[in-house]
Structure 1
Amino acid sequence: MSSPSRMTLKELAAELGVSTASVSNAFNRPDQLSPKLRERILSEAKRLGYRGPDAKARSLRTGRSRIIAVVLAESLTYSLNDAVASELLSGVAEVLDAHGHTLLLLSGRQDASQVPGSSSIADGYIVYGLMPSLMMLDELPQLGQRQLVAVDFDLEGYPAVHIDNEPASYAIASHALRTSARRPGVINLRLTKHPCNARISPDQELLPADRTITRSRLVGFHRAFAEHGIDPASVPMWNVEENTFEVCAPVIETILDLPDDERPDLLLCMSDRIALTVLTLAEQRGLRIPDDLRLTGFDGIAEGQYRSPRLTTVRQDSVEKGRIAARMILGLAPREDRQLPTELILGETCP
């Protein structure tokens, strides 16, 4: 017995007494219809077994798939659990949803052979964060008419969305140094060219500024050190390879377990996750924050503002970063470099 033929968009439009454009908009461009009409079309489509326009056929017919791929620097599991990355994805999804596009998530840690075939028909790519390797980007289909926007790093020939990393880091370090610091230290996030989950030695090669936002933040810290009469080269630095408690903790434990006269009395951290890990481990050791150790973060995630003592940090609007990147991809905003402002939040860890 043969299966019933698939209902077409044209047949559904005739059944409902509406135009084919109205049916198409109900699935692909909801902003073009009244909520009442869209709801009627979708509910009737469901009742009649119409599942929506055939994406593959539409792609062949129009040259557009209405799929936007986001290439994440980290694994999908990590990115969805990371507060900053998930906020950025929320901003991207908000814009894509409003304009009838589908979001496809890819990980820069995937081998090119593991990338799903649907990526080949994506209309554009948003590339987020420091890629462990640019090989995957090289393996993506030739862009041609497709668009690409980089977020939090630079890719030659394409627009990038950043925050004001260097000025923001300078502002928070300048605030922290208003109170004398005898032994300041810096904990970086993926700053070294080769993996290093430990203190950075003088012979370690650092990534260039166009590959990691950490380098721009470090420039801001160093400018503040110099203005307060501190030789930046004399400030010890540590590097963590991943912005998670499990990876941060071993590095931070070695810092906090230093003798009292060697342990930093001020730690400038490149992320709130790093700073919150310091805070937890310091409290376990009976260190008083901010009396024994003052502490700053970066990102402004909610967790750092809900617990006590509240983090002194820099807040970035990751949701808006995602919205801007998505608008660029869809041609709703100029495809040009953008830099978003940040906000200094004074908490109790470094008053």
Structure 2
Amino acid sequence: MRTKSRNLTLKDMAEHLCVSTATVSNAFNCPSQLSKELREHILAECRALGYLGPNAAARSLRTGRTGIIGVTLSNYLSYTFTDPVANQFLQGLAEVFESREYSLLVMPSRDPMKEAKGYESFVDGFIVYGPPQRQTLERLIHQHKSIITVDFDIDGYVSVNIDNYNSARECAVHALKNTVGDVAILGLRIVDSNYVCRIQQRELLRADSTITIQRLRGFLDAIEGAGMTMAAERIWHVPDNTHALGYQAAREALMCSPRPQLLLCMSDRIALAAMQAARHLDLKVPEDVRITGFDDIPESCTHHPSLTTVHQQSVGKGTIAAEIFLGQREEESVVVPTELVVRESCP
């Protein structure tokens, strides 16, 4: 058989190799289904004849599935690739989906590319990490495909979350036991502003729209439970989870009078930046100021002093979301447990 390469089909190759069309397809798409020798033989013959493999678009029309999962992020791609928590979550997703030979299509909701270029219609379903912009969410729901949400809820859909309120409250209760003096909170995306600022009388974001509002309420309830009051101007808003913005907020807080003796931070990145700000102001941690974080990223235990924080299973959240999507777990919402990790920054 020596037809022109542009006319070669899966059926042509199967007849030439004296195997089924499924066997040829598996050589390209499901290599684990064939022996190494048979797969290499099939691919070598296909290369020799100029056959490039089954057409993905045609296959998706036949089966209604593409083997591609859309992962919608609540932030910019450039930001997500530098955020250790997001990286760990994506790692958990990738490990499960790759083992089942699925591909991931990452779709940020805060980039210009979000303006519906047809990506949503091509994927088999969505893992939505963090609340996307409203119009993005509406487009995804309109596709009538499987949706698993992570770190937020949509009525009628399965979600994977942690208990942010109680995790933050437990951390604050521990930190307040041996704290004498003022407390400051370094929040994360708690008001609608692109700048580091104190919240003053600004309206907080809705509790069901952001995990950090739940953490803030956990902090505030622990402070109230300790018989202390918390003025709004002692709460800082950090618009993005970056070292530079965390450092700016921490430096402002530590230069206030009276200076806070405890900084409750809503992420490890902010907390680590706060430790650097304290060092630059000749303050010792924890002797002069105690600091807590949230997430337990790898740097938290290697930094000196090591960081007291809330450990959340970021990789595990990705693993669980992927397994639910693939039917390897019960299709029900999951609250992943957390753990308070006490280290040097706030013993």
How far the C-alpha of 1:3 sits from its partner, in A, is 6.9
1:135–1:231 distance in 2 versus 1, CA, 3 Å: same
Q: What SS does the aligned partner of 2:106 have? A: strand
Greater mean deviation of Cα atoms: 248-257 or 113-122: 113-122
Whether the 8 Å CA contact 1:184–1:235 is kept in 2: the answer is no
Kept in 1: contact 2:17–2:42 (CA 8 A): no
Deviation at 1:60, TM superposition (A): 0.9
Aligned to 1:20: 21
Contact (CA 8 Å) 2:198, 2:232: kept in 1 or not? Answer: no
2:11–2:21 Cα contact (<8 Å) kept: yes
Residue identity matched to 1:151: V
1:20: Cα distance to partner? 3.1
State the 1:124 CA deviation.
Answer: 0.5
In the alignment, what sits opposite 1:8?
9
Which residue does 1:204 correspond to in 2? 202
Structure 1 Cα separation of the partners of residues 230 and 255 of structure 2: 23
> Unmatched 5+ residue regions in structure 2?
none
What corresponds to 1:154 in structure 2? Answer: 153
User: Following the alignment from structure 2 to structure 1, what is the Cα–Cα distance between the partners of residues 42 and 84?
Assistant: 34
Are the structure 2 counterparts of residues 215 and 40 from structure 1 closer, same or farther at C-alpha, using a change threshold of 3 Å? Answer: same
Aligned to 1:278: 274
Instruction: Provide the aligned C-alpha RMSD in A.
Output: 2.5
Corresponding residue number in structure 1 for 2:344: 348
- Who is 1:252 aligned against? 250
Deviates more, 1:278-287 or 1:15-24: 15-24
2:110 partner SS: coil
Residues 187-208 of structure 1 show CA distances to partners (whole Å, capped at 9, x for unaligned) of 111011454521111x211112
- The Cα shift of 1:181 comes to 3.0
Shift in alpha-carbon separation, 1:30–1:265, aligned structure 2, 3 A: farther
Once structures 1 and 2 are overlaid, which stretch shifts more, 246-255 or 316-325? 246-255
1:86-132 Cα shifts (integer Å, max 9, x gaps): 1111111111111121100111112466444333211101111133x
Counterpart residue number, 2:328: 332
Counterpart amino acid of 1:280? Answer: Q
Contact 2:56–2:66, Cα closer than 8 Å, also in 1 = yes
SS in 2 for 1:81: coil
Aligned-partner Cα distance in 2 for 1:45–1:346: 60
Secondary structure of the equivalent of 2:147?
strand
Q: 1:268 aligns with which of 259, 264, 269?
A: 264
2:164 corresponds to which letter in structure 1? N
Cα distance between partner residues in 2 of 1:257 and 1:37: 69
CA contact under 8 A between 2:114 and 2:136: conserved in structure 1?
Answer: no
Contact 1:28 1:101 in 2 (8 A): no
Aligned counterpart for 1:301 among listed residues 283, 297, 301: 297
Shift in Å, 1:329: 2.2
Aligned residue pairs: how many?
344
> Would the alpha carbon gap of residues 7 and 326 (structure 1) be closer, same or farther in structure 2, given more than 3 Å must change?
farther
Change (3 A) 1:320 1:35: farther
Q: Percent identity?
A: 42
Structure-2 separation of matches of 1:255 and 1:35:
63
- 2:76 equivalent to 1:78: no
Contact 1:30–1:99 (CA under 8 A) maintained in structure 2: no
**Residue aligned with 2:5, SS:** coil
What is the TM-score when the length of structure 1 is the normalising length?
0.89
CA distance in 2, matches of 1:255, 1:46: 66
Secondary structure at the residue paired with 2:177?
Answer: coil
Q: Which runs of 4+ in 1 moved over 6 A?
A: none
- Secondary structure of 2:181's aligned partner: coil
User: Cα gap change, 1:293/1:118 in structure 2, threshold over 3 Å: closer, same or farther?
Assistant: same
**Cα distance in 2 between the residues matched to 1:42 and 1:321:** 39
* CA shift in 2, pair 1:6/1:279, >3 Å: farther
**Matched residue, 2:166:** 167
Structure 1 CA distance for aligned equivalents of residues 312 and 198 of structure 2 = 27
**Structure 2 counterpart of 1:172, which letter?**
C
Q: Does 1:188 align with 2:199?
A: no
Mapped to 1, the partners of 2:23 and 2:251 lie a distance apart of 61
Q: Report if aligned partners of 1:186, 1:235 keep a CA contact under 8 Å in 2.
A: no
Letter paired with 1:209: A
Q: Aligned equivalents of 1:22 and 1:325: distance in 2?
A: 31
Partner of 1:310: 306
Distance 1:282 1:38, change over 3 A: farther
| TM-score, structure 2 normalization | 0.90
Tell whether the 8 Å contact from 2:72 to 2:129 is kept in structure 1 after alignment. Answer: yes
Per-residue CA shift, 1:243-298, capped at 9, x if unaligned? 01222232222112224xx1111001000000011011111121100011100000
Query: Match of 1:93, as an amino acid?
Result: A
- Pair 35,86 (structure 1): closer, same or farther in 2 beyond 3 Å: farther
User: What displacement does 1:218 show?
Assistant: 1.8
Q: Distance in 1 between matches of 2:93 and 2:285?
A: 37
The unaligned stretches of length 5 or more in structure 1 are: none
**What corresponds to 2:125 in structure 1?**
124
Could you tell me how far 1:75 is from its partner in structure 2? 0.8
Work out the CA distance in 2 between the residues paired with 1:46 and 1:342.
51
In 2, Cα distance between equivalents of 1:244 and 1:45: 52
User: Is the aligned partner of 1:98 residue 2:99?
Assistant: yes
d(CA) in 1 for partners of 2:171, 2:41: 53
The equivalences for 1:31-42 within 5 A come to 33=33, 36=36, 40=40
CA distance in 1, matches of 2:42, 2:217: 53
Stretch deviating more after TM superposition (185-194 or 12-21): 12-21
